[in-house]
Structure formats: C-alpha cells, structure tokens
Amino acid sequence: MRYISTRGHLSGMPTSSGPTFSEILLGGLAPDGGLYLPESYPQVSSSELEQWRQLSYADLAWAVLSRFVDDIPPADLRALVTRTYTAEVYGNGRRKETAGEITPLLWLERPDPARAEGGLAILELSNGPTLAFKDMAMQLLGHLFEYVLARQGAEINILGATSGDTGSSAEYAMRGKQGVRVFMLSPHDRMSAFQRAQMYSLHDANIHNIAVRGTFDDAQDIVKAVSNDHAFKAKYKIGAVNSINWARVAAQVVYYFKGYFAATAAAPRGSNHQVAFAVPSGNFGNICAGHIARMMGLPIGRLVLATNENDVLDEFFRTGVYRPRSTAETCATSSPSMDISKASNFERFVFDLVGRDASVVRKLWAEVDAGRSFDLSGTPFLARLPQFGFISGSSTHADRLATIRQTFAKYGLMIDTHTADGLKVGSELRTPDMPMVVLETALPAKFEQTIVEALGRQPQRPAGLQGIENLPQRVQVMDVSVDAVKRFIEQHVR
C-alpha cells in the first residue's frame, strides 16, 4: 500500500517510497496541505464479499483495514481491532434484542419485492461511550496511537476541532493513553449542553478543551494553520484526530460493509444486490468512507448526502458550484454537528472526481483557501459525477421536528436531530429497486432540547450519563487566533 497526497507533493517525508500507515496516523495532514489517500483503492471481489458476510464486526474490521495498513503486523492489528470492537465498549444500544451487536440494523419498513418496495432501515452506529457514530473509528484510533507511540518510544500532541461529537469521542478514546495529549477546539456556545458537558467535564491531565469565539470552520482553520506550520508541528509533535486523519476514514469504511451485509441478508446469494445509504453530512468524512467502500467494490447504488441549513455540499451536487460560507453566513442549527461550511474531506472526493490530478486540486483549493468558490459546471469533471453514485438534499429545523414526530408516531422510534436530517432526505430519495439505509449519527439524549420541542418528552439516557451537565467543567475560552492556540499548547507541553 502506497499513500499519496491530494495535492501531489510529499517532499520531506522520511521514506522515499511514500509514508507508511503509521506515519500518516501520527502526521494527520500531508506536508503540502493536502489529505492522504491510497495510490489506488484495494479491490474486494464478489467471492470475498460472500466470505466476509458472516464475519463478526472485529473480524470484518481486520479484513478491511488489513488492506490499508502496511506496517503493523497482522496479528497485532487483529489484536487491536478485537480489543476495540466489543459488546462492553459498544454497550449503550437502545434495544435489548440487539445487545452485543456492534452496529445493529433496524428495519423501519422491510423490503417487499412483490410490491417493488426496497425497504427503509437505520444502521445504529451510536452505541459507543459518547453515544455518537464517531466512536466507531475513534475508539480504534486511541488504541492505534498508543500502540504506534509505544513502539517508537514517542509522544504526540493531538490538535483537533469539533462541531460537537468528534471532541468527546476523541477525548474518551484518548484519556489516560500513554504518550498522548489532546487539545480540542470547539465553537463557543454552538454545541448542545450535553455535548459541552461530555467534553468539558473531563479533568484528565492529558485532555485540554479550548472554546473559540467563532464557528467550527474557524476552529478547523486554526488546526490546519498550525499543522501547516511545519517547524511548530515538528517541535511540538502535532497530530490530528479529525477526519483529515486517514485512519479515521479507513475505520469508518468498515460499517458500510457491515450495513450492506445486514441489509442484503435475505437477498439471493451472488445477486450483487445494491443498497443506498443516506448520510447526514457536515465535514464529508462519514460519506467519504462510503465513497471509498464503493470504490473498493461494495455494491452501493446510491450515496445520499443530507445537509442541514448549511447546504454547501448539497449546492455542489446540485449545481457543480462549491461555495464555502463565511463565519457570518454559517447558521447555528438544531443539528449543530453539521454546522459546517468548509468540508475538509470533500477534497478527497474531488481528487477522485478530477481523475486524481493533483494539479487541478491545488488550483481549486487555492481558491477555497483564499475564501473563494469554484465552479465545475460545464467542465468534463462534472460530467463524471453520476458514475460516483452521489445524490443530495437538505433539511431545515421544521423538517427535523416533523421527521422526529413522524418517526416516533409511525415506528415508535426516537431519533436525534442529525439522523432526522438523513431520514428526511433519504425517504424523499428512496427508489423501489434497493433498500435505503440511513446512518444513525447520535442517540437523541445528546440533543434533549430539540427532542422535547418535537415530542414534549425527554429522551432516555444511559445510567452513567445522568446529570452530566451538572458536573464541574474545565475549558479555556479564547478568540479565533492561531497564535493564541499555539501559546496555549506551548504552555501545556512539558
């Protein structure tokens, strides 16, 4: 496996043949400011898909990730995924009948071939410690970081940005890990009270929370600016856990395979039956993993991208125009983890869309980095878009409330606000020829205020998270400033 950057320049890497998986894990952003991807996607044959169908989640994770990991012995990688994907770690499931399953599939409407109905389902991804799908990859990253750092006798200072769920998932995965410190930036007063409490109530010595007076995009820009200061990055051993980190995206590929197998369990063997996935999207990392699974050969018929009022990605897939919004133009919504107007992982998809021509990506992102838009309408690149299976739609606060109410009334299921965005758009874009699987984003307890607004009742919480908002909180609030964040890191790295 050889890795490349979306912007084409990897000078200064320690190995002439390209970086290893472990180097990418610790480095995060590529030296040229681009994002890492495999030089080519490993292919999975139909016979291999059938062999993988009955695997446990941990065994499936090993089968998928071993295609991407080039420098960790197979036995060690297997031990890491086996340690990660256990019923104890992912024990916050909502249904007793699926206890022990890592990512159970819940059918809202089962497929009915006689009536040409493809079915509608939710893939439950929020059974981890922080009740969000980010745990699916982040728990593994915690073990990977600790393993690689111990092998190298090294330390790392992780700098991340969160719109709500990445922060708590990262902090719960990294707390107490040897050789790891976390500096997590979040948008001040733009997350739910539960999300803030999950992060700020942690008092572990290796966890540091910074709330910036701006949006997630401002926080993400700071992370990129620090990562692009190569002298500072080297001196303070700066790494990343946001989905700019390739290992995060690779780990998320696994649940697309697992969801596909669950949705086609009753399909005739060897039928190559297609499945559509609807994905609530903010930073494009979640759906980027679906794109990669599809490129590997998983029969995904459609990737349905759902945005909230911050509809930059929906606008691109409808028009070919990528128009990032300013801080002032970015709405604060009731699905706050999607309040993102500059989607980092979108660069990975565009790299594939333009035929993996890094010179084109550099030119396009020179516009983005300068605060401008780019327009692919009328270009040969946009003409290639249908072959990638993407389709999109958006959702509003009123849509979320209506979807939460309808889902509870019709199916007896309480869903969170982000999953509601995905279900709303996915339901609108269903086709009778394939099941529509909506990826769950979080459990409703994380967004209690909107659930109460929609249903007039509070969502249930796991026992260990009762009253979390009342715990003492520790956070440093500061203006949007790269220099201020650097100074904070300098003061807290011994």
Domains of the chain: 3-43+66-84+132-244+471-492 (3.40.50.1100), 96-131+247-455 (3.40.50.1100)
The answer to whether 36 touches 5, Cβ cutoff 8 Å, is yes
Q: How many CB atoms lie within 10 A of CB 412?
A: 7
DSSP letter string over 338-381? G--SS-TTHHHHHHHHTTS-HHHHHHHHHHHHTT--EE-TTSHH
Contacts of 190 (CB under 8 A, 6+ apart): 163, 215, 216, 332, 336, 339
Give the number of C-alpha atoms closer than 13 A to the C-alpha of residue 180, restricted to the C-beta side. 31
- State the sign of the Cα–Cα–Cα–Cα dihedral 196, 201, 206, 208: positive
Distance of alpha carbon 361 from alpha carbon 283, whole angstroms: 18
> Tens digit of pLDDT per residue, the chain (494 long)?
899 999 998 744 444 467 999 999 998 889 999 999 999 999 999 999 999 999 999 999 999 999 999 999 999 999 999 999 999 999 887 777 787 899 999 999 999 877 778 899 999 999 999 999 999 999 999 999 999 999 999 999 999 998 878 889 999 999 988 899 999 999 999 999 999 999 999 999 999 999 999 998 999 899 989 988 999 999 999 988 878 899 999 999 999 999 999 999 987 665 679 999 999 999 999 999 999 999 999 999 999 999 999 999 999 999 999 999 988 899 999 999 899 999 989 999 999 999 999 999 999 999 998 989 999 998 999 999 999 999 999 999 999 999 999 999 999 999 999 999 999 999 999 999 999 999 999 999 999 999 999 999 999 888 788 889 999 999 999 999 999 999 999 999 97
Amino acid, single-letter form, for residue 461: R
- State the sign of the Cα–Cα–Cα–Cα dihedral 209, 210, 215, 217: negative
The answer to whether 228 touches 33, Cβ cutoff 8 Å, is yes
Residue 34 tokens read as 């681009």
pLDDT at 327: 85
pLDDT at 145: 93
Q: Classify the phi-psi angles of 143: left when phi > 0, otherwise alpha if psi is within -120 to 50, otherwise beta.
A: alpha
Q: What is the dihedral of CA 104, 106, 112, 115, to 10 degrees?
A: -150
Catalytic-role residue among 96, 134, 177, 424: 134
The answer to whether 441 touches 126, Cβ cutoff 8 Å, is yes
Distance of alpha carbon 426 from alpha carbon 123, whole angstroms: 13
Question: 255-281, pLDDT tens digit by residue?
Answer: 999 999 999 998 766 567 999 999 999
DSSP one-letter code for 48:
H
What pTM value is reported for the model?
0.92
Q: How many CB atoms lie within 10 A of CB 466?
A: 11
Give the number of C-alpha atoms closer than 13 A to the C-alpha of residue 213, restricted to the C-beta side. 5
Q: Active-site residue 233, yes or no?
A: no
How does strand 180-187 pair with strand 156-161? parallel
The SS3 call for residue 321 is strand
The SS3 call for residue 489 is helix
Distance of alpha carbon 145 from alpha carbon 203, whole angstroms: 21
Question: For every residue of 413-436, which 3-state class applies, written as one string?
Answer: CCCCHHHHHHHHHHHHCCCCCCCE
